[in-house]
Structure 1
Amino acid sequence: MTQQPVTQEHKPVWDIFVRLFHWSLAASILFAWWSGEQGGNWMEWHMYAGYSVLALVLFRLMWGFAGSHYARFSEFVRSPIHTLKYGLQLTKRQDAHYIGHNPLGGWMVLMLLLLSAAQAGTGLFANDEIFTEGPLAHLVSSSMSVEITRWHKTIFDGLLIAIGLHLAGVIAHQVFKGEKLVQSMLHGRKPAGIHEDSHAFAPFWLGLILAAIAAAVIWGIVNLL
């Protein structure tokens, strides 16, 4: 935690994999919702979007341990007490400046990852009892598949709430605090004190390997189980 620096320069914070993950997850969830609402032949694409969500979340979990400095969970997941103190400071406009995710943002990242994984994961076992069933529905009983389908729909409501809170937080920081969070997730740079340490991004080849592993794992689960 550091105080807002007086003299700043823009430094690289979000590597290309964090940025691609962020926008790809948003697009996949949006398309999954839209295709699910259309039904019919679009349900096949709905499932593909779900597989993409699972692969993206798996990659982000691995990148959270092996990726660049600001992408790592150890850098932005703080204790509940620390996060509560930050929240109280925020209400008084005395909150400290964080180059990466702030404490509330860090916990929001975890919540979105968990809900996205649960939403897409339950979809693997879902069954609409009419036209479409998930690729792993055969591993559970018909009644259990129907019950999991209910969870699938309920979890999505929770995911929508979490997304709404996330967007509200981004808008608050963007509009009222003047932090260009959206732009930084496009070009990867954020303002930081000139004396703040710079951290090199993790190797590009490492990101490619982890992305390939994530895709291969989800492909194997969907096609081989």
Structure 2
Amino acid sequence: MIANNHVQVWDQFVRVFHWSLLPLFFVAYITGDDKGPLHRYAGYAVLGLVIARVCWGFLGSKHARFNDFVCSPAKALAYIKNLSTGKSVHFMGHNPAAAWMIILFLANSIVICLSGYAAYATKAEKPSFGFINTSLIVGNAYADDDKHDARKTGKHAKEKEARKDGHSEKDDDDGDSVWSDIHESSAQLMLILIFLHVIGVAVSSKMHNENLVKAMFTGKKSIHQK
């Protein structure tokens, strides 16, 4: 659709996804050390958005589909090289460098969410989206001494059985540490990707004489490019 020398490029879903993912990631990032549920729920929202975007990559409008912009790494590197020399080809949709940035954003977001959930599940033991049966906690708190002793005996029995199976509480702690390390590392990687993305948008906007930030709000690009 062309009107007033502009063409509709980004559909509404792509624009909502783009401007929703960023604040959700930063909410999750800054609440990472909190004990409340906000960090988890922001992560669930990010994962939901990413899954929806992957589906939209097959079912969405022309420039939203993966087959419109996914390319080889060599093509992306060639685009970056040409961009640095001022000879890059203009793309109405995502350019090759942006295409790989999208792939990295989606893949890394999935790693962040799944590793975070795995770390939480290892700690909580009842990881059903962060909800723990509080009635069990209350019941345990007010149990009589006999039940306490029984639980203690049962605990020792389980620990003994766990040692036989080669599994212990230390193994859970180690597993939690591994998932937590992956979760934190991937979150730091996301910050780097966001920084590179901002630089790429600024450079590409200047080289092609277009406002990519505005285009992601309106969904439209000028058909007259430099």
Q: TM-score, length-normalised on structure 2?
A: 0.73
Q: Does 1:90 align with 2:83?
A: yes
RMSD of Structure 2 on Structure 1 (CA)? 2.8
Q: Is the 2:86–2:207 contact (alpha carbons within 8 Å) kept by the matching residues of 1?
A: no
Tell me the SS of whatever aligns to 1:155.
helix
Q: TM-score, length-normalised on structure 1?
A: 0.73
Q: Does 1:117 align with 2:113?
A: no
Q: Is the 2:122–2:176 contact (alpha carbons within 8 Å) kept by the matching residues of 1?
A: no
**Letter of the 2:80 counterpart:** G
**Letter of the 2:185 counterpart:** T
Shift of the 26–166 alpha-carbon distance from structure 1 to 2, 3 Å rule, reads: same
Q: Is the 2:83–2:207 contact (alpha carbons within 8 Å) kept by the matching residues of 1?
A: no
Give the Cα separation in 2 of the matches to 1:169 and 1:157: 19
Q: Is the 1:10–1:191 contact (alpha carbons within 8 Å) kept by the matching residues of 2?
A: yes
Tell me the SS of whatever aligns to 2:7.
strand
Partner of 1:24: 20
Give the Cα separation in 2 of the matches to 1:93 and 1:59: 36
Partner of 1:14: 10
Q: Taking every aligned residue pair, what percent have the same amino acid on both sides?
A: 35
| Aligned residues between the structures | 183
Partner of 1:151: 182
Partner of 1:210: none
Cα shift at 1:108: 0.4
Give the Cα separation in 1 of the matches to 2:202 and 2:40: 31
Give the Cα separation in 2 of the matches to 1:136 and 1:48: 8
Please list every run of 5 or more consecutive structure 2 residues that lacks an aligned counterpart in the other structure: 131-170
Taking the TM superposition and a 5 Å limit, the aligned residue runs for 1:33-44 are 33-37=29-33, 39-41=34-36, 44=37
Cα shift at 1:82: 2.1
Q: Which protein is bigger by CA-based radius of gyration?
A: 2
The 10-residue stretch of structure 1 (127-136 or 174-183) with the greater mean CA deviation from structure 2: 127-136
Cα shift at 1:81: 2.5
